[in-house]
Amino acid sequence: MEELIALLSEICPSIDFENETDLVDRERIDSFELVAIVSTLMDHYEIELDVEDLLPENFNSAEAIYRLIESRRG
Amino acid sequence: MYQKNLYDYLSDAVRTAPDKLAFADERTGYTYAQLYDRAEAIGSYLFERFGALNRPIAVAVERSADTLAAFFGVLASGNYYLPIDPHMPVRRMEHILAQVRPLCLITPDGTDLPDTTALCPTVLFSQAVEHTTDSAALCAQRAQVLDIDPAYIIFTSGSTGVPKGIVVCHRSVIDFTEWMSETFGFGGDDIFGNQAPFYFDLSVKDIYQTVKHAATCHIFPHRFFLFPKLLLEFAEKEGITAFIWATSAFHLVANSGALERVAPASLGKVILGGEALQAKQLNRWRRALPQVEYVNLYGPTEVTVDCTYYKIEREFADCESIPIGKVCENKQVLLLNEDLQSVPQGSIGEICVRGIGLALGYFGDREKTDAAFVQNPANTAYRDLIYRTGDLGKINERGEICFCARKDNQVKHMGYRIELAEIETVLSAVPGVDQIACIFDREKDRIIACYSGQAEESALSRAAAELLPKYMNPNVRCHMEQLPRTSNGKLDRNALWKISEHGTDC
């Protein structure tokens, strides 16, 4: 989780990934950052993310992103 | 009757289609009657409180139908609107408000905006919209507004570190709206899917095409552009017929893979603008939606939205560049050299534009206005202005205008026009920064800030987040011992590229 937060913070330095939630609903992430997050996750964790995985609920918090990675790894 | 004021479009629409849905966001939808009633109430509030004519009124914009009611309310009162992005850094917002000194800032209820009451009073949307309507007084106000008076001011990045407010008059927008309607054949059955934020002049096309035709426009929520499959599903469900989007959003949807899953059959027109269109992404769309008419538009805010258009009718290889086409009606494009003389056929020259679409100038900045809007060198007999875009273009062998490059360091990133010099000015003020230069990586669509000095990288990130809109924040910060210089001491941008790509310091 720590590693993920470090990766995400690099892409979106203004977001406090430890504490913030509702990142999509509160418009804290823009589309370009989301693209960067998705490609970083795919490269770093060597997972495949499909267009069906791209749903607001999977990106609303670091925890949700973590769960998404785990589900694709498993 | 011909239009004199943009508000006339709404007055006409409410007569012809009062019960038709005009604008809808996720929470609210207004029919033309509801939109008109709200605009009249807001206009009446503004008139009673300020009694002013032809003065700027700021509106904190959201992706909402209320924002449009506020715009039309301002126009109803005989004044002009200044859209403010509530997410911009506080200091930038203060700077803009201090420069323009609007009569007030209309804000949506429940928005967490910084306190700017020292610069102008704040008016809550809910407060203005409940005011008693005095349509006769508003009509009398508007009767005094000429079509050459301002309709809006839109701010863009400025090279000296100060954003510039471009003032555009009613006539320019009406002229453009009429041309666009005729050229692309929009009508009352069209349903638009709005992407562009209302502080971006690209949205002028959605707003006034919709109202001109008493058509319908769905304001897409922000998350649609993060998750394009949701967007396409919604477009299919609502029977959206036209997208008038920033090219970057079009590219983003193409890249997402969503088009291969959902291809809305109702879509008939996709009209793009804001930056160079990539053939590779266009081809993805054409494969998924071959029935759609695609158009590439070009033009800076200073010429009122766009000045050239290109209907895509032939095939393009993925690596080909897409022309910006031919000039819009009632505008002229001249390709001129440094001495403002026409360049020979096929040669590269600065794209200069003539016509009624030319903005009135930069708000409160005579010097910048005079530098950009200059006398047409081919005419010494009377006042005849051209706008120097700073873009370089040429005419290809097919007679189509093609965009080549910028003369300066202005770039297009995420659909926005950005002066790299503005970012440099802000970051050079960070303690510990000795030298700074920004470059733009077109391929990866990212801004790279190269700097020397003892400043921590985090200090640069903080300053950028505090002072610049998000889309202007450098994506990469690259520390160097020294910034490379050419033999005559100028910054060597080519060397900067090489070092930033391969240097161990980065």
Residue B120 has pLDDT above 60, yes or no: yes
pLDDT at B505: 39
pLDDT at B128: 98
> What share of chain B has pLDDT > 70, as a percent?
99
pLDDT digits (tens, 9 = 90+) for B397-451: 999 999 998 888 888 887 788 988 889 888 988 999 988 999 998 877 889 999 9
Q: Does B283 touch chain A (CB under 8 A)?
A: no
Q: Does A6 touch chain B (CB under 8 A)?
A: no
Instruction: Considering only the beta carbons, identify the residue of B223, B249, B257 that sits closest to A56.
Output: B223
pLDDT digits (tens, 9 = 90+) for B36-83: 999 999 999 999 999 999 999 999 999 999 999 999 999 999 999 999
Residue B179 has pLDDT above 90, yes or no: yes
Q: Which residue of B has its CA nearest to A14?
A: B465
ipTM, two decimals, is 0.81
Q: Which CATH architecture has domain B414-500?
A: 2-Layer Sandwich (3.30)
Q: Name the band, by pLDDT with cuts 50, 70 and 90, for residue B503.
A: very low
Residues B267-289 have a mean pLDDT of: 95
B92 near B422, Cβ under 8 Å?
no
Q: Does A34 touch chain B (CB under 8 A)?
A: yes
For residues B120 and B379, what is the distance between their CA atoms, to the nearest angstrom?
Answer: 43
Instruction: Considering only the beta carbons, identify the residue of B226, B256, B465 that sits closest to A13.
Output: B465
Looking at domain B220-405, which of 3.30.70.640, 3.30.1640.10, 3.40.50.12780, 3.40.980.10 is its CATH number? Answer: 3.40.50.12780
pLDDT digits (tens, 9 = 90+) for B450-466: 998 999 888 898 889 88
B503 near B478, Cβ under 8 Å?
yes
Q: Which CATH architecture has domain B1-21+28-169?
A: 3-Layer(aba) Sandwich (3.40)
B324 near B308, Cβ under 8 Å?
yes
Q: Does B261 touch chain A (CB under 8 A)?
A: yes
Instruction: Considering only the beta carbons, identify the residue of A32, A54, A59 that sits closest to B256.
Output: A54
Q: Does B258 touch chain A (CB under 8 A)?
A: yes
Q: Which residue of A has its CA nearest to B62?
A: A27
Report helix, strand and coil shares of chain B as percent, to nearest 5: 35, 25, 40
How far does the CA of residue A51 sit from the closest CA of chain B (Å)? 6
The H or E element spanning position B271 is: strand B269-273
pLDDT at B502: 52
B227 chain-A contacts, CB cut-off 8 A: 54-56
The CATH code of domain A2-73 reads 1.10.1200.10
Residues of chain A scoring pLDDT < 70? none
| Mean pLDDT rounded to a whole number for chain B | 93
Interface contact A59-B249, CB threshold 8 A: no
Q: Which residues pair with B477 in a beta bridge?
A: B449
Report helix, strand and coil shares of chain A as percent, to nearest 5: 60, 0, 40
pTM: 0.90
Instruction: Considering only the beta carbons, identify the residue of B229, B458, B470 that sits closest to A30.
Output: B470
